[in-house]
Amino acid sequence: MLRISNLNAWYGSSHVLQDISIEVAKGEIVCLIGRNGAGKTTTLKSIMGLMDRTRGSVIFKDKELLGQPAHMRFALGLAYVPEERRIVQGLSVRENLRLGLVASPEKKREAELIEGIAKIFPRLAERLDQEALTMSGGEQQMLAIARAMIAKPDLIMLDEPSEGIMPVLVDEMFELFRDMKAQGTTVLLVEQNVELALDIADRAYVLDQGAVVHHAAARELLADNDIKERYCSV
């Protein structure tokens, strides 16, 4: 579904991604792991079209995306949940969910889709008319994921979804990711809790200083003591 080849990206004159090559097959959960500053977030931003300067190839569903704006990539079925969530102040949970449909051809089914997504996220179902920023950090993260999912993307990219969230909600969230996979959603995941991420993933890529340094099945990496020592405490 997604094939990244020799992807390079720059912040100003800083060359932060160096010939990254990654593949994600339909229905997989693939995770990117690495220390802070390894290039994980920059990789997701580059795929979504949020970097000013990139070079290489990003093919999604047989279409080359490099050079296409982010809204065109979204229209093709690519969604991105950034680390900072970007919940809109002053809007209710329902209104934030509606924003996920602004550029979607499914907008005319808004009420039906909100009802459907609320069944997947029962915590949000109880709070649809509550101001979104009055919820806990974990509930806001679930809203950010729900807002990306409501337009039914083919592939969703998640950047550090468990950061700053209480353990009980983290467990709930990762069960949700398993369910998403079971329902056919493809996931590219960046996650600080490496063991938890590898437990639900099919495969993983290890990034270091802007380059892929290792790639293997998730279960193989979980059994690799060197990988655990280097990255699972990050």
Looking at residue 234, its pLDDT comes to 46
Looking at residue 32, its pLDDT comes to 96
Q: Of 3.40.190.80, 3.40.50.300, 3.30.565.10, 3.40.1360.10, which CATH number belongs to 2-77+153-231?
A: 3.40.50.300
Looking at residue 166, its pLDDT comes to 82
Q: List Cβ neighbours of 173 (8 Å cut-off, separation of 6 or more).
A: 138, 141, 142, 145, 161, 162, 165
Find out whether 9 and 17 touch, Cβ atoms under 8 Å.
Answer: yes
Looking at residue 83, its pLDDT comes to 85
Q: How far is CA 38 from CA 152, 213, 234, in A?
A: 30, 11, 12
User: Other C-beta atoms within 10 Å of 83: how many?
Assistant: 18
Domain range summary for the chain, segments of one domain joined by +? 2-77+153-231, 87-151
Show pLDDT as tens, one digit a residue, over the chain (234 residues). 999 999 999 999 999 999 999 999 999 999 999 988 899 999 999 999 999 999 999 999 999 999 899 989 998 999 999 988 789 989 999 999 999 888 777 777 888 899 888 888 888 998 999 999 999 888 898 899 999 999 889 999 999 998 878 888 888 889 889 888 888 899 999 998 888 999 999 999 999 999 999 999 999 998 888 877 777 654
